[in-house]
Amino acid sequence: MSDEGISNNVTQQLNRIVAGQDASASLRTHVFALLRDQMVASEMSFDVDDDIVFRYQGRHFMAVFDRRDDRYLRIVFSPFHQASDSDDILKSLTAIALVNFQIKGAKLWAHQNLGILTVAASVELWLVRDEDLDENFMERLISTLFTVVHEFRSLISG
């Protein structure tokens, strides 16, 4: 996706972030460029916290930053599973525990509201060097998320 494909509003918001007092601005700008140029993420925008919301391979993700920490990054795979009856909730929680035990690079987590359990996944890390953000960086993180989601779905379908 070229710069022309990104709305003026998104570009203006990115410029405002970089100009402000935001420790994570440099990291946010770099991740934004990686998503745009290497990952060809679509529908990129910013939420109210200036985190990057994007689609990749038809899935919704969010790159979350901490304004006080210029090295913190979390990539969230939006909720992908819901369970409402007690057997499905127990099966989902068991699958979450098994996948989180087996795969250390990403975590599945659940939120329950009004009797409905919702499952999402995330990768959370602190980057030590700028060189860590190479052209394969985002693809590796997203691949890890796809792996935990696949493992979860395999466990609950079997």
- Strands (DSSP E) along the chain, which ranges? 42-46, 52-56, 59-66, 69-83, 107-113, 116-126
> How much is the pTM?
0.81
Residue 127 has a pLDDT of 82
6, pLDDT greater than 60: no
14, pLDDT greater than 70: no
Residue 45, class by beta-carbon neighbours within 10 Å (0-12 exposed, 13-18 middle, 19+ buried)? middle
- Highest averaged pLDDT of the listed ranges 7-16, 19-28, 134-143: 134-143
Residue 1 has a pLDDT of 47
Query: Could you tell me which residue, 134 or 29, shows the higher pLDDT?
Result: 29
Q: What's the rounded mean pLDDT across residues 123-129?
A: 84
For position 97, which CATH number holds? 3.30.1460.10
122, pLDDT greater than 90: yes
For residue 134, report the phi and psi dihedrals to the nearest 5 degrees.
-80, 180
Domain count, the chain: 1
- Strand 52-56 and strand 42-46: pairing? antiparallel
Q: What is the mean pLDDT of the chain?
A: 85
28, pLDDT greater than 90: no
Lowest mean pLDDT among 32-36, 50-54, 110-114, 132-136: 132-136
Domain coverage including residue 112: 3-157
Q: What's the rounded mean pLDDT across residues 44-65?
A: 91
Residue 136 has a pLDDT of 80
